[in-house]
């Protein structure tokens, strides 16, 4: 397989031309990535040239509407789905909240919803509130001693009362790629809907909705090198069962059914630039034929993933003798390049601060996955874990610097 050309990639991100990002080894990507230049161009253009009420007879309003339509269409093309199935909201938390409220139509008294112990609060709290309102049961798919979700434990929960399973594709702490297809294969014959949180997965591997066919899939584009939005795919037959959450006169617009407000117009328009980024990367690294945007993105995503996997494996090897506990598996097979750890000798805050002194950005805390940290035995959930979350623009040099600092602060601690 071809390799990702890091120089090409970094040139696509204007951040690297600025002094702070240029000198920082940035490992806070799970909190939000740098933005591709092609996205910024579309964003700036909208604000500079067409920051007006979109659509309408005048040329300027028409142009604004066209740019927003292009952003929406590009997002659907990137995902390989019909644009009617895509809701663009301000965040994934908001989208899950809206989806859970819409699920009132299919969840009643004594019905059950399954959530996992691995999830971010965004994909638990909304369902907990729904169950409380509807007098339904919230069931917990618990993690095992390694922090992973075992399919046998899910099976123990499945009975006729279960209407929806909400799960993460990969947790923002544990990083294991969960068996979404296997869950869907078990759920669908029973008429159970599967709602997937792809926020932590999508920045490492682009979602493959046409192959996996979830009932709903959510992720956030501010973590996939674009603007601050939440994307929610809802399968048409699922959407048809749910209670719409839009103004009554917008019911005829499928993309508005679960969009109660409508986020920043420029941010929607700028999504068109994400398509440009994947296409530029496809042409540079692969080229030749002209497959669909969905196919280009799947191919480029494999290169990104391979690069991240390689340098993250080197990171894991570099810290293997340190007195640290990694939450989840310690090998790259079946996991994303998103490593959360605690140290036996140092607080997570100390590690984060020491790294910062060497221009390495890696935060600590619970990252809104408090329930997971508690179940995984992390006692101080405020100090939480140190999280080293990669993006495809990280380099081996970033990794080496981080390993060096983590090693030296542990050696210093040992010397006393």
Ligand X SMILES: Cc1ncc(COP(=O)(O)O)c(C=O)c1O
Nearer to ligand X, 199 or 409 (CB): 199
- Least Å distance between CB 214 and ligand X? 15
Q: Which is nearer to ligand X, 193 or 204 (CB)?
A: 204
Backbone angles phi, psi at 169, to 5 degrees: -70, -40
Binding-residue pattern over the window 22 to 51 for ligand X, x denoting contact by CB under 6 A: --------x---------------------
Q: How far is the CB of 224 from ligand X (least distance, A)?
A: 11
Nearer of residues 115 and 409 to ligand X, judged by Cβ: 115
- The smaller minimum CB distance to ligand X, of residues 172 and 296, is found at 172
Q: Is the dihedral of CA 184, 188, 191, 195 positive or negative?
A: positive
Binders in 130-189 for ligand X, by CB under 6 A? 168, 172
Q: How far is the CB of 232 from ligand X (least distance, A)?
A: 10
Residues in 240-259 at the binding interface with ligand X, rule: CB under 6 A: none
- Do the Cβ atoms of 69 and 292 come closer than 8 Å? no
Would you tell me how many other CB atoms lie within 10 Å of the CB of residue 138? 16
Residue 140, sorted as left (phi over 0), alpha (psi -120 to 50) or beta, turns out to be beta
Q: How many CB atoms lie under 10 A from the CB of residue 398? A: 21
272-285 and 59-79 helices, crossing angle to 10°: 50
- 43 contacts 68 by C-beta, under 8 angstroms: no
Nearer to ligand X by Cβ, of 258 and 282: the residue is 258
Q: Give residues 334-353 in contact with ligand X (rule: CB under 6 A).
A: none
Residue among 91 and 208 whose Cβ is closer to ligand X: 91
Min dist. Cβ of residue 143 to ligand X (A):
15
- Please tell me what DSSP assigns to residue 124: T
Using CB under 6 A, which residues numbered 396 to 415 contact ligand X? none
Smallest distance from the beta carbon of 220 to ligand X, in angstroms? 4
Residues 179-238 that bind ligand X (CB under 6 A): 197, 199-200, 220, 230
Q: Using the rule CB under 6 A, give the single segment among 13-21, 41-49, 85-93, 152-160 that binds ligand X.
A: 85-93
Tokens 């390799």: give the residue.
3
As a whole number of angstroms, the distance between CA 414 and CA 416 comes to 5
Number of amino acids touching ligand X (CB under 6 A): 13
Q: Closer to ligand X by CB, 50 or 116: give it.
A: 116
Find all residues with CB under 8 Å of 338, minimum gap 6, and list them.
30, 170, 172, 173, 175, 200, 204, 387, 388, 389, 390
120 touches ligand X (CB under 6 A): yes
Stretch that binds ligand X, among 88-96, 240-248, 250-258, 358-366 (CB under 6 A): 88-96
Element (H, E) at 400: helix 396-415
> Which residue, 172 or 298, has its beta carbon nearer to ligand X?
172
Q: For residues 63-102, b (16+ Cβ closer than 10 Å) or e, as one string?
A: bbbebbbbbbbbbbbbbbbebebbbbbbbbbbbbbbbbbb
Sign of the Cα torsion 392, 395, 398, 402 reads positive
User: Using CA atoms, how far apart are residues 345 and 203, in angstroms rounded to an integer?
Assistant: 31
For ligand X, the closer of residues 42 and 169 by Cβ is 169
Give the residues lining the site for ligand X (CB under 6 A): 30, 91-93, 120, 122, 168, 172, 197, 199-200, 220, 230
């Amino acid at each position: 397989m071809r390799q990702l050309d890091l120089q090409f990639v970094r040139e696509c991100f204007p951040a690297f031309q600025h002094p702070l990002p240029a000198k920082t080894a940035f490992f806070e990507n799970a909190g939000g990535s740098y933005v591709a230049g092609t996205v910024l161009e579309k964003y700036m253009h909208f604000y500079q040239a067409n920051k007006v009420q979109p659509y309408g007879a005048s040329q300027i309003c028409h142009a604004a509407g066209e740019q927003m339509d292009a952003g929406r269409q590009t997002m659907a093309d990137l995902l390989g789905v019909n644009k009617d199935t895509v809701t663009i909201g301000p965040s994934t938390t908001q989208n899950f909240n809206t989806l859970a409220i819409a699920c009132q139509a299919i969840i009643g008294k004594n019905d059950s919803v399954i959530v996992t112990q691995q999830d971010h609060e965004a994909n638990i709290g909304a369902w907990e509130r729904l169950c409380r309102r509807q007098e339904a049961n919230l069931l917990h798919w618990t993690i095992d001693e390694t922090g992973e979700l075992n399919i046998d434990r899910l099976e123990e929960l499945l009975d006729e009362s279960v209407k929806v399973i909400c799960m993460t594709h990969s947790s923002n702490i544990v990083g294991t790629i969960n068996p979404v297809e296997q869950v869907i294969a078990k759920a669908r014959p029973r008429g159970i809907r599967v709602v997937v949180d792809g926020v932590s997965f999508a920045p490492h591997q682009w979602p493959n909705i046409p192959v996996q066919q979830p009932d709903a899939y959510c992720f956030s584009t501010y973590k996939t090198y674009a603007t601050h939005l939440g994307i929610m795919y809802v399968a048409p037959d699922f959407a048809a069962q749910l209670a719409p959450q839009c103004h009554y006169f917008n019911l005829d617009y499928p993309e508005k059914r679960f969009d109660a407000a409508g986020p920043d117009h420029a941010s929607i328009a700028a999504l068109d630039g994400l398509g440009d980024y994947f296409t530029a990367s496809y042409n540079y690294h692969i080229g030749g034929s002209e497959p669909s945007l969905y196919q280009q993105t799947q191919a480029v995503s494999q290169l990104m993933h391979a690069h991240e996997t390689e340098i993250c494996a080197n990171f894991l090897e570099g810290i293997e003798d340190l007195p640290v506990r990694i939450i989840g598996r310690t090998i790259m097979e079946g996991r994303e390049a998103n490593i959360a750890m605690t140290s036996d000798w140092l607080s997570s805050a100390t590690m984060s601060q020491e790294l910062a002194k060497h221009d390495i950005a890696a935060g600590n805390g619970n990252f809104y996955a408090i329930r997971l940290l508690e179940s995984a035995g992390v006692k101080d959930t405020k100090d939480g874990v140190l999280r080293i979350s990669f993006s495809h623009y990280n380099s081996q040099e970033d990794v080496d610097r981080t390993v060096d600092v983590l090693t030296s602060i542990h050696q210093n601690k040992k010397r006393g």
